[in-house]
Chains A and B, each alone.
Chain A
């Protein structure tokens, strides 16, 4: 028996006799459940379908998805969203949500102003169901920024605020189960991040923008 014959034989043995482990049926649904972007955006194509359809469909569906979701490509916004999300998650996990704990805007605002080169707006929205917990200072994009921590039911909302000359376009993102929103108002750029649902975070966005526009 030659080397080549032996090789062919062993390769046939693997092909025909070794176990091929098919993915368990539950795996696709587990993955779908773990993926952050989900069906709450019905206007988008159901891109995640490729997971179910198997590897053969993967190419086509991925490309379609890549094209439709092209606007999410990492750029400045994407990078900043990543930084903010990391900062928020870190603060939530480390329980260092705020360095000054106060629901009083007249305590929080001077605390921030004395530590930053700018004075961020601090809105009291407790009447609307968003309780101010306090504030901290975090590093985003290489500079120190004000972070206001609010609470809605059991959900913490972090509001990152810094002065910006450009009027940043409104933006809504969903990352790893967190909702992020960005808007500009009164010369300030705001980034909100929370595990609160999108609708309520949207309400909060409008309230903040409104209170900042009419001091």
Chain B
């Protein structure tokens, strides 16, 4: 239940919509129990995830565009030498904001992997993409997140002194 709400909360970015989405998924789970194959938790999260995507399509269509289109930006990030992240100096709020700003495809992969500890194959099943895509989304998601955190910390430190 927590896993379902957490995923929905991160994808819809607000409490009421996350509740609605989880509730809808629970109703669907009840109706389509026949579709239950294998473990219940990934199965239920698949429903939650699909409800989220339907919700995003209806309410935040812009978030679903360009999920894999900023290839040039990714190329650049991947070739940059990573800087050491001053995670301790970063406050929680900035990390949360940066994570929330990631494109939905990267966000959901990271939430499922880092917060729920799902195996790649389960994430692949929940998000409906091949395992290879899951792995590349995780890698790119981490790098995008690191890059945006660096950008935030670079941008925010001079401001403090203003």
Contacts and interface: CB of A to CB of B under 8 A. Distances in A.
Interface size range of chain A in the complex: 35 or more
Contacts of A197: none
Given A3-B82, A35-B26, A30 B19 contact: yes
Interface stretch (A14-22, A162-170, A179-187, A199-207): A14-22
B125 to A, nearest CB: 15
A54 B4 CA distance: 10
Contact of A24 (B4, B15, B30, B39): B15
B128 to A, nearest CB: 20
B142 A11 contact: yes
A30 B142 contact: no
A34 B23 contact: yes
B146 interface: yes
A14 B115 contact: yes
A111 B41 CA distance: 54
A69 to B, nearest CB: 7
Contacts of B124: none
Interface in A54-76: 54-55, 58-59, 62-63, 65-66, 69, 73-74
B33 A23 contact: no
B25 to A, nearest CB: 9
B36 A31 contact: no
B95 A58 contact: no
A62 B36 contact: yes
A13 B95 contact: yes
B33 A14 contact: no
Chain A interface mostly = helix
B53 interface: no
Contacts, number: 121
A2 interface: yes
Contacts of A30: 19, 23
B95 A59 contact: no
A58 B5 contact: no
A27 B83 CA distance: 42
Given A24-B19, A27-B22, A74 B34 contact: yes
A7 interface: yes
Contacts of B142: 6-7, 10-11
B41 A59 contact: yes
Nearest to B39: A59
Shortest 5 CB-CB contacts between residues of A and residues of B: A23-B5, A6-B82, A21-B9, A59-B40, A14-B114
8 contacts: A9-B85, A10-B145, A13-B95, A14-B95, A21-B6, A22-B2, A23-B6, A62-B33
Interface of A: 1-3, 5-7, 9-15, 17-24, 27-28, 30-31, 34-37, 51, 54-55, 58-59, 62-63, 65-66, 69, 73-74
Given A6-B82, A23-B6, 14 more contacts: A6-B85, A12-B87, A13-B87, A13-B95, A14-B110, A18-B95, A20-B2, A23-B1, A31-B26, A35-B27, A51-B1, A59-B39, A62-B36, A63-B40
